[in-house]
Structures are given as C-alpha cells and as structure tokens.
Structure 1
Amino acid sequence: MNYYFYLQKAEFSPIVCTFADKHKYTIYMKHFSCIVLFLGITIGVYAQNFADFFQNKTLRVDYIFTGNAEHQSIYLDELSQLPTWAGRLHHLSELPLEGNGQITVRDLTSKRCLYKTSFSSLFQEWLSTDEAKTTAKGFENTFLIPYPKQPVEVEVSLLNPQGKITTSLKHIVRPDDILIHQRGTTHVTPHRYLLQSGSAESCIDVAILAEGYTEKEMDLFYQDAQKACESIFSYEPFKSLKSKFNIVAVGSPSADSGVSVPRESQWKHTAFSSHFDTFYSDRYLTTSHVKAIHDALSGIPYEHIIILANTDVYGGGGIYNSYTLTTAHHPMFKPVVVHEFGHSFGGLADEYYYEEDVMSDTYPLNVEPWEQNITTRVNFASKWEDMLAKGTPVPTPVSEKQKYPVGVYEGGGYSFKGIYRPAYDCRMKTNDCPVFCPVCQRAIRRVIEFYIP
C-alpha cells in the first residue's frame, strides 16, 4: 500500500487558514487531524509485522503450468520447507512490479492479504509460439514465500498480454502438514560466498549456480562466478548499492562438461538440463527443469538466481523472478550476464527491435507494458515522463539523441513501430552500450529499495 499515494489524493480543504482567524484555523486543524487519523488507520491495517504472521523459514511451492494457446491450467505439485527465510521483511502485501503472474497469500480465516509477489514464466512465453497453437505442454515453476504460522490460502494467477487473468489456482497450506517436504537440513550443495555484505535478512541474496561444469571443473566455475559478480557491480546502480547484496556461488556438478545444443545434435547430461534452441531460437538458452535448480539451492539462503553455462556458444535468457541463464566463455559473457540479470532481477524489457516487425504480439499497443523501460504511450505518465527535459519532442528523433539522453525513441520490445524506449542506446538494447540508461537505472534502484528499504 502506497501511503504517499493516499497523501497525494487526500482532498485538502480549500479553506484559507491564517493564524489571525482562530475559527478558520480550528476548522483546518480538524480537517488535517482527520487526514492524519485516516493515514494512521490505513498504516495500521496494511503495514504488517512479519513476525506476527510468518516464521523464519521458507515455503517452497512447486507448480505445473499446463495448457496451450487457447486454455491454461495450474496444478500444485509439491510443498517444501526450507530452513530460513531470505526474502523481504517489508512491503509484504505490495508488488514491486506487476509481472506476468502473481502469487497472493491470505489468512485463511479473515482473507486478509499477508504477502504478494510477481513473476514471469517460460510457459507464458511459449504460449505465443506456433507450437502452442497445435499442442499442449506442462512447465515446472517454483516460487518461494515466507512460511506461515497459521493456515493460509495461496492463490497463483497467470496474466495475458492484456493484463487479464487467464487462469488461477487457490489452495490451502497448513504449516503443520506432515507431507511438506523438509529440505536443506542434511545435504547442502558446496558453496562459497563471493560477497557477504550482511545477514540474509538485511541483504538481497543472489545465488550463482554451475551448469555443465564437472566436479573437476569447479575451480573454473568459481572463477567464472567471480567474473559475473564483478561485471554486475561495475554497472550503476548495482555499483553504488553493492552493500545491499550477498552473492553466493554454488558448485552444482554435472556429469558432462558443456551444455546441450540440439541443432548440432549435442545432448549433455547436466545439472539442470539446459539447452539452446528454446522455441527453435538458436541463441535462447533456458531450462524447464526448475525444480532441480531449487533442489540444488536447498539449505542456502537465496532470492534470485543466476546460472552460468560452461560453453563458449553465444546465448542466454532471463525470466523475471525466475532465473538468469547465460554462457560463461563467450567473449560477450560479461555484458550479457548483466543484460539478462536486468530481466530476471529488475524486470526490464528488451529495448532492441527488428525492423521487419511492425508490431509484436508480445506487447499489444492498446496496453501499457508493466516493464518500466518501454512504453506504448497509453499511460506514459506512469513511466519516465517525469524524467524528460523540458521541450523534449515526443517521439524523439534519433537525430537528436545527443541533445536528449532521455527521450521517447520509437522501437523497442522487439517491435519497430508503436513501442518506445527511453534512450537511443542502453545495456538492455545492445552489448556495446557500457551503461544502463537513466530510466533503467532508476527502475533497478526502485526494485532494490523495495526489497531493502
């Protein structure tokens, strides 16, 4: 709940108050007192104390998202308990970003919202493919929520590109359920901290996992993880806010070295079964074996995930609040891991586009995207309108890029027309750009400050 919003929207009395007019001053103060009282009640209702409702443990919820382009369903797979909670302790019932899906945890008796989070999923990307028009599939999805003290109702919903709910599932979680699998108390994957700024409660915890590294190659993995860490914190705003992060490298071993490249008939036995050619796109490197990722992290405090693939083939992928997966030995590794982390952590959109694509189905032009670094101008005031210099032309001509470092440049979100980006170039547009644009920097900073006030 945004209390500043309430303060902005409160209808202050038009009465002119002067100390010389005692009667007018009294009326004004009564009106102001009512507003303060309202704010106090609002804060009391919505600002929960974490310890009142949750234990210092994590509830891991595994789902299967199934269906095709016409119809989708959600099924509960498994519940697990992890030893500690590494997530946020504030803004429990708020969302940093809308995402393509949302999870809401409610008290079972009162139905009061206790916790919310948002995400995107590989399944929802797949729904836009030609394959989804002719067949149905199931995809694993795993989410972390704080472990409740009392029975709760958990609701997970998927949203379409128009922002409408396409399917949802409600289920009850009872914290004393004996079938909730306790994980992370015995076997814990070997790991080492690359950056430890504070406790799990006081920092954002990012885990870097090994994919396609054998036991003998773990020293190489830790070197690659260090490079990824250094690269991320060489960019603002991560650089200035480095003290808000913990980074742990997790040595998850694979039987085979390297990762699968289906177009070359190369199939490897790796920790997370990742492969290129996702949705038949050569460079798209992902995995649908999400449970294996989280199994490898059991017993290690984590919130966000980066997976490094032991290959020099170019590619990667980043899914908001799911994972970043990128290759570690291509020459463009360092900028690519930062770009993909911009997706998975910051919820940023791709700012590049294809000139032959006039309009992509990914972003309908009659809806404002939830990502903060692109706009259809349906509701531009909710984006970076406040960051435009006075007199900035909208749309902003590319010929004026030097004059307007923040503008409204057409082309973004894969579409040549109808979608606009905030800068001529950015880390979310090309690998050559050495910085996130000012709008992306602000968006990332807001996410960090949401997690760690």
Structure 2
Amino acid sequence: MLRFISRLCAVASLLAAGLAQAAQPATVRVDYSHSGNALSDSYALEQVLIEPLPWPGDTRRSLDNTNRGQNRVEVVDAKTGDLIYSRDFSTIFGEWRTTEEASKISRSFQESVRFPKPDRPVRVRILKRDERNAFSVAWSVEIDTDAPEVVRKQAPAPAAPIPIHVKGPSAQKVDLLIMGDGYTQGEMKKFEADARRLSQHLFSVSPFKERADDFNVWALAVPTSESGVSRPSTGMHRASKLGTRYDIFGSERYVLTLDNRALREIAQHAPYEFIEILVNNETYGGGGIFGQFSTAAAGNEWAPYLFVHEFGHHFAGLADEYYTSPVAYAASGTRMEPWEPNATALRDPANLKWKRHLKAGTPLPTPWPKAEYEEASRAYQKRRAALRAGNRPESEMNALFREDLAATRALFAKQPHRHAVGAFEGANYEATGYYRPAMQCIMFDRSEAFCPVCQDGIVEIIDLYAGPARLKGADSTQQ
C-alpha cells in the first residue's frame, strides 16, 4: 500500500507539472449504446460524466481534418451551431455488422466519446459514412455539461499509472496508455517490463522512431485473480478487469474487449488519447479499432510485431493489406474507394491517393508474383489451421510464422518492383479489386517496416495531436 501511495504521489506530481502549465478544461465523456444489425442501427444516451483528469489534448487542435474512420463525433454550440470539436473514429459495432451473425440477430454495444468541457450547452453529433462514403449525421443529442445529472465524482483510482516515456506536458504530446489485462498481483512487475519492452520497440520503428519525443507513454493495470485472459475456443475462461478475450466474432486470433464501460472507468485515471491493451497470454493474437484501442498478446514471440501492427490500426486507421488469412467479415459486393490511407480501389490511376510517392514509369496496377504467393499461402494457411485444430504448442506456430516470412522474402527478393511504391492488387481482405501501396509492409505481413504511404498516414495523426515536427521548438524532457 505504501508503494502504491508513493507511486500515486509521484504520478500526481508529473501530471500537475504537465497538465497545469496551461489551464486545461475538464474531460467530458459521453457513454451511449449503439444497437442494431446489418441493416439498421440506433443510439441511446447512457450517461454524461466528468473524468477525474483534465483534458490531455491541445485545445488549439480540436478539429480533425484527416477524414479517417467509419464515424465522426462533432461537438457544436447548441445555439449557434458553431463546430467546437471533432474526431474521426471507428467502432466494434461497425465491424460486427459485416459479420454473418449481424444478418441474423441484433446486438447492442457500448461506446464512448470524449471531448474538452465546453462553457456552454452543446449538441453532440455522431456521424457515419453513407453510400457516397461521405459523413452524414446518424444521431444527435443536446448536452449541458453543467446539468445536475452529470456525474462528477468517481471512485478512487484502482491502480496508479506508471510513467514509461514522458517527454513533456500532455497538451503538447500524444498520450499513449498501455493497459494490462490478465496480470495477477504477482505479475505487476512483468506487466511493467512488458510495457517498457514493447513501447521501446514501437519507438524503434519509423516514423514513431523519429517522433518519439512527441509521445508520452503511461502504463496501468489492475491485478486479476488468475493469469491470462479468456480463450473460449479452448475452454479457457478467465475473469479479467477489462473483459478482454480471444475468439471475437469467431476468429481465434482476434482479441478485443466488448466491455467499453470497464475499459473507460479504469483508463480515466491516466492521461490518454490512445490505448493499447497487453493481454498476459502466450497465444498469438491481437486487434485494433481506429480511435478506440488496440490489443496484443504480450507473451507471444511475435508480440513486438503485434503491438506495432495493431497500433497502426488503432492510431492511424491503417487497413490490413493481407487477404489470404481467414477473417470474420463478409466481403462486400461493391468496391467503394476505402477511407483508409493505405488501400485503394484504383478507380482513377491518374489520381492515385499516394501518387506523390510514385516514380515515373511505375505501372499501375503494379506487377508482383501474386499467383505464386497465393499458392504458397494456401499451403501455409492449411498448416496453420491444422496446428490450431490440434492445439499444438505455440512454439510450433511461431516456427511456422518464421518459415512463412522467410519464404515471402525469398519470393519477393528479386522482383523488379520489390522496393517501389505502386498499386499491388490484393488488400483489405480481398484478392481482387483492392490494391496496397507496396509489395511488403507491416500491414501486409510480419515484416519490420511500414511502407512510405503508411508512414505518411501515421505522421498525419501525430501532427493532429502534437503538431507538425517542423514547427516545434525544443520541448522540456522528463524521464
């Protein structure tokens, strides 16, 4: 208990030094339910509350112009309609409604939006993309953050956040919160070591490497009674603080929590704009939802890759560029231009969204050994499925992953467009109709680097929260 109080005091000092440099507004969180099925959806307000910590962001950068995600939240002046705050995001509901289950039943999901406390009544609008791929209002609710029913008192913090990589006042930085799930009291040191190890790896990968000083990283975990999180397909069930589990939407490797309220009520005790959840499991798995959170199995050999790949989804809305692995989502009959920055339907090659990276003479579509890759991938996926069906040791799966990555590199090694930016068919879970920027990238397979287009997408989000690097002066540093 003394150690907890000591750490809490140390963290409070850091927070006071960072957040109090400017008069930061309070943080408002609106919790609501999002219900429906594949054909329709609806929203209902659950609660409005004031979180314990001030707003972590820069109020000068309150409007989002990145045009990412399935949804957008807008906070507007209730009287004048002036836009005060906006952010793009995606939702678990948005993914679920593309599954087979959503064509049969309706379900309800918890969601939240957060914004700096306004000094007047506001209207909070949730927008979603329509058939033209443009945002239109799906739900709107008027909120007075000074109303009596707004929750202002929270339960005490269940754990103290650990400063991992603190580079300055929160308002000037991107605040990443690494949360742990499935760590017992005796494994708290392991959680901290995992958080330090994986965040250090994140900052070894470009462009995070070059922009490391634009981030603060905190770690926070509430101990569980048992080690690990649930993996229902193998009969393993664990009560965890965040409700994180494997087998989401029937995919054995997909790890998410569907308990948004549990996540937010713990996360609110640390400064954050982005969350990565480390699950204390060895089995390969992870997930990432743009603007919500990402997950990674910290005990797996491929945890560094999982951490970065899934954070790419959550942080920058990057699309998966692979298409030969089984997924829970049903293929769409249309080929609308994706909002993700690293995938295209290539409807207008002359105006390719990443054309600034194209070199003269690069053909579009860009040739690559697609048939050979798909033949090898079919054999690989068959072996992978057999290992999981046989509940084989994770070491055998890791060996298969290493073998597959080596084979892909060998296949690509002598290709004329190996290092080119172009339009390579096969992306976004589809073998045809969608194209990725590079032959190989962290978003395509278990390689080590983001392609230039993905790097651009990441930098744009860093700039949104921390400001462009070229406009910065020297920041004060705390370690």
If the TM-score is normalised by the length of the shorter chain, which range does it land in?
Answer: 0.7 to 0.9
Indicate how the Cα distance of structure 1 residues 405 and 167 shifts in structure 2: closer, same or farther if over 3 A, else same.
Answer: same
* Structure 2 counterpart of 1:426, from 441, 446, 452: 441
* Structure 2 counterpart of 1:444, from 442, 448, 458: 458
Deviation at 1:183, TM superposition (A): 4.9
Report the AA paired with residue 66 of structure 1: S
Listed one character per residue, the Cα deviations across residues 346-384 of structure 1 (whole Å, up to 9, x for unaligned) are: 110000012999x9635831x211100010013563620
Q: Percent identity, aligned pairs only?
A: 32
What pairs with 1:275-354 in structure 2 (closer than 5 Å)? 275-354=245-324
What residue is the counterpart of 1:256 in the other structure? 226
Question: CA–CA distance in 1 between the matches of 2:131 and 2:284?
Answer: 29
The reply to whether residue 78 of structure 1 matches residue 78 of structure 2 is no
Question: CA–CA distance in 1 between the matches of 2:131 and 2:202?
Answer: 30
Measured on the aligned residues, the alpha-carbon RMSD in Å equals 2.1
Report the AA paired with residue 414 of structure 1: Y
Aligned-partner SS, 1:325:
strand
Aligned-partner SS, 2:171:
coil
Report the AA paired with residue 325 of structure 1: T
Contact 2:48–2:151 under 8 Å retained in 1: yes
Report the AA paired with residue 423 of structure 1: A
Deviation at 1:193, TM superposition (A): 0.7
* Structure 2 counterpart of 1:58, from 23, 27, 31: 27
The reply to whether residue 191 of structure 1 matches residue 193 of structure 2 is no
What pairs with 1:31-430 in structure 2 (closer than 5 Å)? 56-82=25-51, 83-159=53-129, 163=133, 168-183=138-153, 186-187=156-157, 189-354=159-324, 361=331, 364-365=334-335, 367-378=336-347, 381=351, 383-398=353-368, 400-402=415-417, 404-430=419-445
Question: CA–CA distance in 1 between the matches of 2:214 and 2:155?
Answer: 27
Report the AA paired with residue 311 of structure 1: N
Deviation at 1:175, TM superposition (A): 2.1
Deviation at 1:269, TM superposition (A): 0.4
Report the AA paired with residue 318 of structure 2: L
Report the AA paired with residue 277 of structure 2: I
Report the AA paired with residue 446 of structure 1: E
Indicate how the Cα distance of structure 1 residues 392 and 183 shifts in structure 2: closer, same or farther if over 3 A, else same.
Answer: farther
Aligned-partner SS, 2:463:
helix
Indicate how the Cα distance of structure 1 residues 184 and 306 shifts in structure 2: closer, same or farther if over 3 A, else same.
Answer: farther
Question: CA–CA distance in 2 between the matches of 1:184 and 1:77?
Answer: 16
Aligned-partner SS, 1:176:
coil
Indicate how the Cα distance of structure 1 residues 360 and 288 shifts in structure 2: closer, same or farther if over 3 A, else same.
Answer: closer
Report the AA paired with residue 32 of structure 2: Y
Question: CA–CA distance in 1 between the matches of 2:106 and 2:290?
Answer: 23
Question: CA–CA distance in 2 between the matches of 1:106 and 1:303?
Answer: 21
Question: CA–CA distance in 1 between the matches of 2:120 and 2:326?
Answer: 54
Q: Return 5+ residue gaps in structure 1 as ranges.
A: 1-53
Listed one character per residue, the Cα deviations across residues 241-296 of structure 1 (whole Å, up to 9, x for unaligned) are: 00000000102222221111111121110011111111111111111001111111
Listed one character per residue, the Cα deviations across residues 19-61 of structure 1 (whole Å, up to 9, x for unaligned) are: xxxxxxxxxxxxxxxxxxxxxxxxxxxxxxxxxxx96111111
Indicate how the Cα distance of structure 1 residues 95 and 284 shifts in structure 2: closer, same or farther if over 3 A, else same.
Answer: same
Aligned-partner SS, 2:272:
coil
Aligned-partner SS, 1:354:
coil
Question: CA–CA distance in 2 between the matches of 1:102 and 1:141?
Answer: 13
Deviation at 1:87, TM superposition (A): 2.2
Deviation at 1:189, TM superposition (A): 2.5
Contact 2:73–2:127 under 8 Å retained in 1: yes
Listed one character per residue, the Cα deviations across residues 316-354 of structure 1 (whole Å, up to 9, x for unaligned) are: 100000001111001111111100000000110000012
Indicate how the Cα distance of structure 1 residues 186 and 352 shifts in structure 2: closer, same or farther if over 3 A, else same.
Answer: same
Higher relative contact order (CA 8 A, sep 6+): 2
Listed one character per residue, the Cα deviations across residues 296-320 of structure 1 (whole Å, up to 9, x for unaligned) are: 1223211100000000011110000
Deviation at 1:401, TM superposition (A): 4.6
Contact 2:57–2:172 under 8 Å retained in 1: no
Contact 2:343–2:436 under 8 Å retained in 1: yes
Question: CA–CA distance in 2 between the matches of 1:362 and 1:309?
Answer: 32
Deviation at 1:146, TM superposition (A): 1.1
Q: Return 5+ residue gaps in structure 2 as ranges.
A: 1-22, 370-414, 468-479
Question: CA–CA distance in 2 between the matches of 1:155 and 1:447?
Answer: 22
Contact 2:342–2:436 under 8 Å retained in 1: yes
Indicate how the Cα distance of structure 1 residues 219 and 162 shifts in structure 2: closer, same or farther if over 3 A, else same.
Answer: farther
Question: CA–CA distance in 2 between the matches of 1:411 and 1:107?
Answer: 44
Contact 2:331–2:430 under 8 Å retained in 1: no
Deviation at 1:208, TM superposition (A): 0.4
Listed one character per residue, the Cα deviations across residues 198-242 of structure 1 (whole Å, up to 9, x for unaligned) are: 011110100000100111111110011111101111100000000
Indicate how the Cα distance of structure 1 residues 234 and 288 shifts in structure 2: closer, same or farther if over 3 A, else same.
Answer: same
What residue is the counterpart of 1:33 in the other structure? none
Aligned-partner SS, 1:90:
helix
Aligned-partner SS, 1:154:
strand
Contact 1:183–1:299 under 8 Å retained in 2: no
Aligned-partner SS, 2:422:
coil
> Aligned pairs, how many?
397
Question: CA–CA distance in 2 between the matches of 1:95 and 1:164?
Answer: 13
TM-score with structure 1 setting the length: 0.83
Question: CA–CA distance in 2 between the matches of 1:421 and 1:337?
Answer: 21
